[in-house]
Structure 1
Amino acid sequence: MGEVEFNNENVMKCMCSGCPVQGTSECVKGKLQKMQEIMSEDIDIATVIGPEDVPGLYCASSEASCTDLYYHEECKCAECPVFKENDLMSGKPAGYYCRDGKAL
Structure 2
Amino acid sequence: MGKVEFSMENVNKCLCTVCAVQGTSSCVKDKLQAMQEKMSEDIDIASVIEPSDIPGMYCASGKTSCDDLYFHEECKCVECPVFKENDLMSGEPMGYFCRDGMAR
Would the alpha carbon gap of residues 11 and 40 (structure 1) be closer, same or farther in structure 2, given more than 3 Å must change? same
Would the alpha carbon gap of residues 45 and 86 (structure 1) be closer, same or farther in structure 2, given more than 3 Å must change? farther
Q: What does 1:35-74 align with in structure 2 at a 5 Å threshold? A: 35-41=35-41, 43-74=43-74
Separation in 2, partners of 1:23, 1:42? 29
Gaps of 5+ in 1: none
- Which is further off, 46-55 or 93-102? 46-55
> 2:24 is aligned with what amino acid?
T
> 1:29 is aligned with what amino acid?
K
- 2:24: which partner in 1? 24
Would the alpha carbon gap of residues 45 and 92 (structure 1) be closer, same or farther in structure 2, given more than 3 Å must change? farther
Q: Secondary structure at the match of 2:60?
A: coil
Would the alpha carbon gap of residues 43 and 15 (structure 1) be closer, same or farther in structure 2, given more than 3 Å must change? farther
Q: Secondary structure at the match of 1:20?
A: coil
> 1:52 is aligned with what amino acid?
S
1:11 matches 2:15: no
Q: What does 1:69-84 align with in structure 2 at a 5 Å threshold? A: 69-84=69-84
Separation in 2, partners of 1:103, 1:60? 7
The sequence identity of aligned pairs, in percent, is 73
Deviations 1:43-94 (A, max 9, x none): 4544212111110000000100000000000000000000000000000000
Give the alignment's Cα RMSD to 1 decimal: 1.2
TM-score (norm 2): 0.94
